[in-house]
Chain A
Amino acid sequence: MSKDLLFEIGTEEIPANYMPSTLKQVKSISGAMLKNYRIAFEEIKAYGTPRRIVLFVKGIAEQQENLEELVKGPSRRAAYDENGNPSKALLGFLKGRKAELGDVFIQELSGVEYVYYKKQEKGQPVKKVLKTILPDILTSISFPKSMKWGNKSFRFARPVRWLVPILGDELIKFDKDGIKCSRYTKGHRVLSKGSIKINNTAEYFDKLKAGFVIADQEERRAIIRRQCEELAREKGGEVLIDEELLEEVVYLVEYPTALIGGFDAEYLKLPKEAVITPMKEHQRYFPVVDNDKNLMNYFITVRNGDSRFLETVREGNEKVLKARLADADFFYSEDRKESLDNCAEKLKNVVFQETLGTIYDKTQRISAIAEYLAAILGLNAGAKKNLLRSAHLCKADLVTNMVKEFDELQGIMGREYALLQGEDREVADAIFEHYLPRFAGDCTPETLNGSILGISDKIDTICGCFAIGIQPTGSQDPYALRRQAIGVTSIILDSNIHLGLAQLIHNSLKPFEEKGILKGDEKSVKRDILEFFRQRLKNVMIDKGFEYDVIDAVINAGFDDIYDSYLKILELSKWKYKDEFMNILGSFNRVSNLASKGKSTEINELLFTEKAELKLLHDYDKVYAKFVNCVDNRDYGKALELMITLKKPIDDFFDNIMVMVEDEKIRNNRLGLLKSIGDMMNRIADLSAVVMNK
């Protein structure tokens, strides 16, 4: 016979964003514990509302399974003396297991006889075992921040106020630091009066519902979504549901009732982000758009309660939003009184980093880097002028009222204000785009100017921080340098830009060197930064689904041109699973092994006497120029094809030629040939890093 188990942990309001991870933990912790305690079950479910965490186990066994375990003791020789009396070792073994002499027996293991004891434990009633397990589950949940209260021995996200553990229709009774278990749960904080008695697990969800609590988060999510959609439709619009916000709202309410409110259409003149941001970030409202995706002057909020007195709640919320939008409107009009050029001047008083100077200093460095990149990438005069203009203005919005109030609007307001003061569209877009990507999975700039500005800003931050020794360590990364380096890499890949990373870093470090704030010598700082990029590039490639060995093979051979490395990885990944490619790996590995012993690539044809070495030299000579041509044109597929033609002569070479001969001249000549071939390979990848499959 099996029953269901209910364990409700009643709490004060748990932060909404803790809940998804909490419920995952509840499932995994209780699953592991039940298994550990040999308790069979069908399924584990976890539910959460702001005031309760619920573990629900379907079909849990009533009896623990019996335990039978064979425990190995000392060997027979060590266990008994010649008269057959037990030794100290055996007695100790028995004592440790609380066993008698008669309980043990002899069994052979790999030709040696040992004493064994069969440990048996009869399964206990699950009801009894749960008294141990349930309090452990309660205290095993971890939260981003937890607190102490009322002299309890354990911490929790917020105070635990009641516990309802019921197995079928039986109450499991235990006491956790004075929090007593009972059949009494609580309904909605204000809509439900008194306590709700739970007689058995089957009636739990219905009884809660009668008490204005919908325990199942998925049910609440569906209700909220449907209600929001309906309300928006009634106004001829569509609700914009941000899934992250929806998830938060789901865990902010026990009994959701959505309601729609309005605001003065006058505020629609504000940039839409300036309206949406206070709505979402501060008030957890959903915005509404019309059929053309234009923002409408409505918002949808989800009340924790029923549909009575909705008018009061609506009025209150409208008033709060009105004050927020009035603030935004005031900031917006104040900001427009001042040009972005003036704002840029003010950056002279805003510190970027104590040693690295002000943000104004930073924009000057960004300009210099952008100018360098413009030259490399061959920007025309008009584009370059716009680029430098956007570099000058890109941080100006940081001192506007709007961005000071809502920092997530940085870049967005910059673009807006730039357009308003008549800047070129290209300038405005680059100002916005230079912050991209803002988070993992965010888009990268669409315009080339945006890409260049974005790379310049990020590489300056990275180089500046490394220059003064504040690079990331472990989990510490206060300037988000990892994100910035991944950003640089993603921008380069998405915009197909070829540039030399080492030279870019060298140029970006120059201002710090000139200022005399470089910690250590330029060479080692540069090396550290390159190493930092190597790791990020690897991660980005792994995220794109490439295989480790292919990534390593290419990156080991160099990654100065990041986009080029990507093209090589792309090509090599295609080749890796071709038979003819796998066949040559062995041959090329032999080349690499010896090539590393070669000192120079100088070859004297006259010193070659054997047929096989002459053949390899000639074939290499024949292929080399074409190969280089392919590599220069980045036709890596063709280049690999050419390399493969060398397989036969290489194999013949190794079959017939002894490389490490006594005669130094001959030895070096042969090594020189192998090194030449190795170097050629390395222009694509270090093939020795590729793992052979099968």
Chain B
Amino acid sequence: MTFQEIILTLQKYWADRHCIIAQPYDVEKGAGTMSPYTFLKALGPEPWRIAYVEPSRRPADARYGENPNRLYQHHQFQVILKPSPDNVQDLYLGSLKALGIDPVKHDIRFVEDNWEAPTLGAWGLGWEVWLDGMEITQYTYFQQVGSIDCQLESAELTYGLERIAMYIQDLSNVFDIEWVSGINYGDVFKTAEFEHSKYSFEEADTKLLFTLFDEYEAEAKRLLDIGLILPAYDYVLKCSHAFNILDARKAISVTERTGFIGRVRNLARLVAQGYLKQREELGYPLLKKAVFGGEKNE
């Protein structure tokens, strides 16, 4: 199964289970959770079901394209099921079967792993899912997002697409993944990996980034003041990414670090509050939609 077949299979599987199939959100981010499709939609009483691929940038994990496992940017397949259905674990195992991974032939374990994202003021309980000893998915029941308790808890499934592809294709180097017949992962990303590594570790203009962080933060606050919640959130994401590059560049000391994380978390909280207020004023329109739900057993 090629990389793109894996994505297409997961999309089809979750589309059949009443998920919206969305496209990646176009602002840089470190994880699929940071997409507004997850971060904001996890708040409040409205149901929501969505699945999407999210390219996730982690400047500190960059390795100039030389490490067989670590990447500046990897791909997550993100599924949000809100409220979490009773048979969510079965649904998940069904998706593995769709990928040709028959649980009977393997050792699948749900090993405790509690997820926390300090910059988002978010945490949840769950597991990392092991396939014959390898972590392939992060599975979380959200408890708090934007420092606000979740009213209706979501289940979040985050598949590590490269890991799964390497397993299915029996590879030990991520750049060998067959994206589509005749084109591998390295053909698509190797140069980008090298250049972004060089940028993150050597060339990033830290003075500029510090300034940008301040300005993004100011803009987010200004937008919040005039009730433009979604544009404000885009600037929170930009703050977070600027912080991540500065962090990779080792431009932020241990002491300063806590301060920067606190500033982003504060913005995330204000956005979360603003979003909840906005949805309430709109009368929670998604409550009236019947499309999310109606479970069939696997």
Residues of A within 8 A of B (CB): 12-13, 15-17, 50, 145-151, 157-159, 161, 189-191, 252, 283, 301, 303-305, 308-309, 312-313, 315-317, 319-323, 351, 354
- Across the interface, B112 reaches (CB within 8 A) one of A16, A191, A305, A317, namely A16
B32 within 8 A of partner (CB):
no
Known: A50-B110, A190-B108, A252-B109. A148 touches B153 (CB 8 A): yes
Complex CA distance for A415 and B26, rounded to whole angstroms: 49
Contacts of B108 in A (CB 8 A): 189-190, 304
- Across the interface, B83 reaches (CB within 8 A) one of A16, A150, A190, A315, namely A150
Complex CA distance for A15 and B112, rounded to whole angstroms: 5
B52 within 8 A of partner (CB):
no
Do A316 and B167 have beta carbons less than 8 Å apart?
yes
Complex CA distance for A339 and B17, rounded to whole angstroms: 57
Known: A191-B104, A308-B104. A321 touches B109 (CB 8 A): no
Known: A309-B104, A354-B255. A252 touches B132 (CB 8 A): no
Contacts of B143 in A (CB 8 A): 147-148
- Across the interface, A158 reaches (CB within 8 A) one of B106, B111, B125, B133, namely B125
B4 within 8 A of partner (CB):
no
B69 within 8 A of partner (CB):
yes
Contacts of B152 in A (CB 8 A): 151
Q: Mark B71-111, 1 if CB is under 8 A from A, else 0.
A: 00000000000011010010001000000000111111111
Contacts of B112 in A (CB 8 A): 13, 15-17
Jot down 5 A-B pairs with beta carbons below 8 A, ordered by A: A13-B112, A149-B141, A150-B83, A313-B107, A317-B133
- Which of A17, A316, A323 gathers the greatest number of chain B CB atoms within 10 Å? A316
B253 within 8 A of partner (CB):
yes
- Which of B104, B112, B114 gathers the greatest number of chain A CB atoms within 10 Å? B112
Do B86 and A312 have beta carbons less than 8 Å apart?
no
Complex CA distance for A189 and B93, rounded to whole angstroms: 10
Question: Closest approach, in angstroms, between the C-beta of A462 and any C-beta of chain B?
Answer: 21
Known: A304-B109, A305-B107. A312 touches B132 (CB 8 A): yes
Contacts of B141 in A (CB 8 A): 147, 149, 159
Known: A150-B153, A283-B133. A351 touches B104 (CB 8 A): no
Complex CA distance for A622 and B93, rounded to whole angstroms: 89
Question: Closest approach, in angstroms, between the C-beta of A486 and any C-beta of chain B?
Answer: 27
Do B107 and A12 have beta carbons less than 8 Å apart?
no
Do B172 and A319 have beta carbons less than 8 Å apart?
yes
Question: Closest approach, in angstroms, between the C-beta of A400 and any C-beta of chain B?
Answer: 17
Do B254 and A354 have beta carbons less than 8 Å apart?
yes
Do B69 and A320 have beta carbons less than 8 Å apart?
no
Do B84 and A150 have beta carbons less than 8 Å apart?
yes
Contacts of B103 in A (CB 8 A): 189-190
Do A319 and B107 have beta carbons less than 8 Å apart?
no
Known: A50-B110, A148-B143. A323 touches B86 (CB 8 A): no
Complex CA distance for A158 and B140, rounded to whole angstroms: 11
Question: Closest approach, in angstroms, between the C-beta of B144 and any C-beta of chain A?
Answer: 10
- In addition to A149-B84, A150-B83, A315-B132, 7 A-B residue pairs with Cβ atoms within 8 Å of each other are A15-B112, A147-B125, A190-B104, A304-B107, A313-B106, A320-B133, A320-B134
Contacts of A322 in B (CB 8 A): 172
Q: Mark B125-141, 1 if CB is under 8 A from A, else 0.
A: 10100011110000001
Nearest B residue to A51 via CB reads B110
Do A323 and B254 have beta carbons less than 8 Å apart?
no
Nearest B residue to A12 via CB reads B89
Complex CA distance for A625 and B93, rounded to whole angstroms: 84
Do B109 and A312 have beta carbons less than 8 Å apart?
no
Question: Closest approach, in angstroms, between the C-beta of B293 and any C-beta of chain A?
Answer: 13
Nearest 8 CB-CB pairs, A to B?
A316-B132, A15-B112, A13-B110, A317-B133, A190-B103, A309-B105, A320-B133, A303-B107
Do B153 and A13 have beta carbons less than 8 Å apart?
no
- Across the interface, A145 reaches (CB within 8 A) one of B89, B125, B150, namely B125
Nearest B residue to A16 via CB reads B112
In chain B, positions 148-187 with a C-beta closer than 8 Å to chain A are 150, 152-153, 167, 172
Contacts of B110 in A (CB 8 A): 12-13, 50
Known: A149-B153, A317-B133. A13 touches B127 (CB 8 A): yes
- Which of B68, B69, B107, B114 gathers the greatest number of chain A CB atoms within 10 Å? B107
Nearest A residue to B171 via CB reads A319
Do A351 and B253 have beta carbons less than 8 Å apart?
yes
Contacts of B107 in A (CB 8 A): 303-305, 313, 316-317
Contacts of B253 in A (CB 8 A): 351
Nearest A residue to B86 via CB reads A161
Contacts of A320 in B (CB 8 A): 132-134
Complex CA distance for A269 and B108, rounded to whole angstroms: 32
Question: Closest approach, in angstroms, between the C-beta of A360 and any C-beta of chain B?
Answer: 14
Question: Closest approach, in angstroms, between the C-beta of B248 and any C-beta of chain A?
Answer: 15
Contacts of B84 in A (CB 8 A): 149-150, 159
Complex CA distance for A309 and B254, rounded to whole angstroms: 48
Complex CA distance for A145 and B143, rounded to whole angstroms: 11
Nearest B residue to A17 via CB reads B112
Complex CA distance for A309 and B124, rounded to whole angstroms: 34
Question: Closest approach, in angstroms, between the C-beta of A201 and any C-beta of chain B?
Answer: 26
Question: Closest approach, in angstroms, between the C-beta of A283 and any C-beta of chain B?
Answer: 6
Contacts of B124 in A (CB 8 A): 147
Nearest A residue to B87 via CB reads A161
Complex CA distance for A481 and B248, rounded to whole angstroms: 32
Nearest B residue to A152 via CB reads B153
Contacts of A252 in B (CB 8 A): 109, 111
Nearest B residue to A306 via CB reads B104
Do A312 and B153 have beta carbons less than 8 Å apart?
no
Do B133 and A190 have beta carbons less than 8 Å apart?
no
Contacts of A13 in B (CB 8 A): 109-112, 127
Do A316 and B133 have beta carbons less than 8 Å apart?
yes
Contacts of A15 in B (CB 8 A): 112
Nearest A residue to B143 via CB reads A147
Nearest A residue to B84 via CB reads A149
Nearest A residue to B114 via CB reads A145
Complex CA distance for A50 and B153, rounded to whole angstroms: 22
Contacts of B114 in A (CB 8 A): 145
Do A150 and B86 have beta carbons less than 8 Å apart?
yes
- Which of A147, A151, A252 gathers the greatest number of chain B CB atoms within 10 Å? A147
Nearest B residue to A158 via CB reads B125
In chain B, positions 185-205 with a C-beta closer than 8 Å to chain A are none
Complex CA distance for A50 and B124, rounded to whole angstroms: 19
Question: Closest approach, in angstroms, between the C-beta of B138 and any C-beta of chain A?
Answer: 14
- Across the interface, A323 reaches (CB within 8 A) one of B106, B109, B127, B172, namely B172
Contacts of A354 in B (CB 8 A): 254-255
Complex CA distance for A16 and B132, rounded to whole angstroms: 18
Complex CA distance for A631 and B79, rounded to whole angstroms: 75
Question: Closest approach, in angstroms, between the C-beta of A368 and any C-beta of chain B?
Answer: 25
Contacts of B127 in A (CB 8 A): 13
Do B69 and A316 have beta carbons less than 8 Å apart?
no
Contacts of B153 in A (CB 8 A): 147-150
Contacts of A149 in B (CB 8 A): 84, 141, 153
Question: Closest approach, in angstroms, between the C-beta of A305 and any C-beta of chain B?
Answer: 6
Question: Closest approach, in angstroms, between the C-beta of A686 and any C-beta of chain B?
Answer: 47
Nearest A residue to B104 via CB reads A190
Question: Closest approach, in angstroms, between the C-beta of B189 and any C-beta of chain A?
Answer: 20
Do A319 and B109 have beta carbons less than 8 Å apart?
no
Contacts of A321 in B (CB 8 A): 133
Complex CA distance for A15 and B132, rounded to whole angstroms: 18
Contacts of B89 in A (CB 8 A): 12, 189
Complex CA distance for A171 and B127, rounded to whole angstroms: 33
- Across the interface, A301 reaches (CB within 8 A) one of B104, B131, B133, B150, namely B133
Contacts of B255 in A (CB 8 A): 351, 354
Complex CA distance for A191 and B103, rounded to whole angstroms: 9
Nearest B residue to A302 via CB reads B107
Contacts of B167 in A (CB 8 A): 316
